[in-house]
């Protein structure tokens, strides 16, 4: 039997489709890239860390391609689209996953800092989508755009002013874009992860991850604020990402799917 938390046996249900996953050198993006590759997709591992992206692509096999992209830089995004077009001529699946964490509250916020977070977490997804849309339109069946937002994009929390605003903007970007592209058969959905064990969950002082702290274990696990009693793993997001980009989700668009262990049901 497979180990707990491992993906089901791949059925190559994305065979031949080109999937661009931003921020896929680690964490959630890497797990999504791995799942897509296991399902037969030709995966573009797009990340600002080119060395890490190449390392991931090497583990995925010859169907994977590593490309550097800085989603805050229009020229870099244009170069990504040009490279994907030159290599494949089309793109069936785009996953806008790349983002940065920011935990500044209003008292620590300056407008330039605020804009710098939105420039990556909000505008970056828009840049990449607009750049790759001609390649998506050129593709055939199974055209999907998937945005990775956050439960902070659908709720308020302290010390997340810019981050939550950007992720909230992605929610309505998803809905509005779904309305624009629906007549073309292109679906647009979003995943809103909760507490996931990635580098972004590391504490600012580097002493560990948030889910390892006593306050997290007390509130979210012992007292059931997360009904499933654990933080999520990147593979927990990769499964729903595959579903939304598969043919099984062909009649789903404009949807925000929370993958949070049930935490949104407790507040």
**CA proximity to 55, closest of 42, 69, 45, 43:** 45
CB 80 within 8 A of CB 14: no
| Residue 234's pLDDT band (cuts 50, 70, 90) | very high
Residue 179 inside a domain? The answer is: yes
- pTM listed for this prediction: 0.91
Task: Identify the band that residue 4 occupies on the pLDDT scale cut at 50, 70 and 90.
Answer: very low
Whether 208 is in a domain gets the answer no
Asked whether the predicted pLDDT for residue 7 surpasses 90, the reply is: no
- Could you report the per-residue pLDDT of 76-129, keeping only the tens digit for each? 999 999 999 999 999 999 999 999 888 788 888 899 999 999 999 999 999 999
pLDDT higher at 230 or 243: 243
- Is 125 inside any structural domain? yes
- Residue 20, SS3? strand
- Between CA 192 and CA 258 the distance in angstroms is 5
Angle of CA points 245, 45, 154, to nearest 5°: 50
Residue 216 placed within a domain: no
Tokens standing for residue 148: 């990775």
| Local confidence band at 175 (pLDDT 50, 70, 90 cut-offs) | very high
List 114, 163, 220, 251, catalytic entry? 163
Q: For residue 68, what is the domain's CATH number?
A: 3.40.50.720
Q: What is the dihedral of CA 113, 116, 50, 57, to 10 degrees?
A: 110
Residue 148's DSSP bridge partners are: 191
- The dihedral region occupied by 161, where left means phi > 0, alpha psi between -120 and 50, and beta the remainder, is alpha
Q: What are phi and psi of 44, to 5 degrees?
A: -95, 110
163 is a catalytic site residue: yes
In a domain, 10, yes or no: no
| Among 5, 25, 6, 3, residue whose Cα is nearest residue 199 | 25
Residue 239: its H or E element: helix 234-245
Beta-carbon-side half-sphere exposure of residue 133 (alpha carbons within 13 Å) = 16
**pLDDT tops 80 at residue 235:** yes
Tell me which residue range forms the domain holding 43.
Answer: 18-196+232-261
**CB neighbours of 133 closer than 8 A, spacing ≥ 6?**
none
Reported confidence tier of residue 1, pLDDT bands at 50, 70, 90? very low
Q: Are 175 and 154 in contact (CB under 8 A)?
A: no
Please indicate, yes or no, if residue 211 is contained in any of the structural domains: no
Domain count, the chain: 1
pLDDT at 200 over 70: no
Band (159; pLDDT cuts 50, 70, 90) = confident
* CA–CA distance, 119 with 114 (Å, rounded to integer): 9
């Amino acid at each position: 039997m497979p180990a707990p938390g491992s993906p089901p046996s791949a059925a190559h249900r994305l065979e031949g489709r080109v999937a661009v996953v931003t921020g896929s050198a680690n964490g959630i993006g890497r797990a999504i890239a791995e799942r897509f590759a296991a399902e037969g997709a030709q995966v573009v591992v797009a990340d600002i860390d080119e060395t890490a992206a190449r390392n991931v692509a090497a583990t995925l096999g010859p169907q994977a391609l590593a490309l550097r992209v800085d989603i805050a830089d229009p020229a870099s995004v244009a170069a990504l689209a040009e490279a994907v077009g030159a290599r494949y001529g089309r793109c069936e699946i785009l996953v806008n996953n790349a983002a940065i964490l920011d935990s500044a509250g209003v008292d620590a916020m300056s407008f330039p800092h605020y804009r710098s977070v939105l420039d990556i977490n909000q505008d970056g997804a828009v840049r990449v989508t607009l750049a790759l849309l001609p390649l998506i339109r050129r593709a055939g069946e199974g055209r999907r755009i998937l945005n990775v937002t956050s439960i902070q994009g659908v709720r308020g929390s302290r010390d997340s002013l810019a981050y939550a605003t950007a992720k909230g903007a992605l929610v309505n970007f998803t809905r509005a874009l779904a309305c624009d592209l629906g007549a073309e058969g292109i679906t647009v959905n979003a995943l809103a992860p909760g507490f996931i064990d990635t580098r972004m969950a590391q504490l600012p002082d580097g002493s560990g991850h948030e889910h390892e702290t006593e306050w997290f274990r007390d509130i979210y696990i012992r007292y059931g604020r997360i009904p499933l009693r654990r933080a999520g793993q990147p593979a927990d997001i990769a499964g729903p990402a595959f579903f939304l980009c598969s043919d099984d989700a062909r009649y789903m668009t404009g949807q925000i799917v929370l993958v949070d262990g049930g935490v949104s049901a407790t507040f």
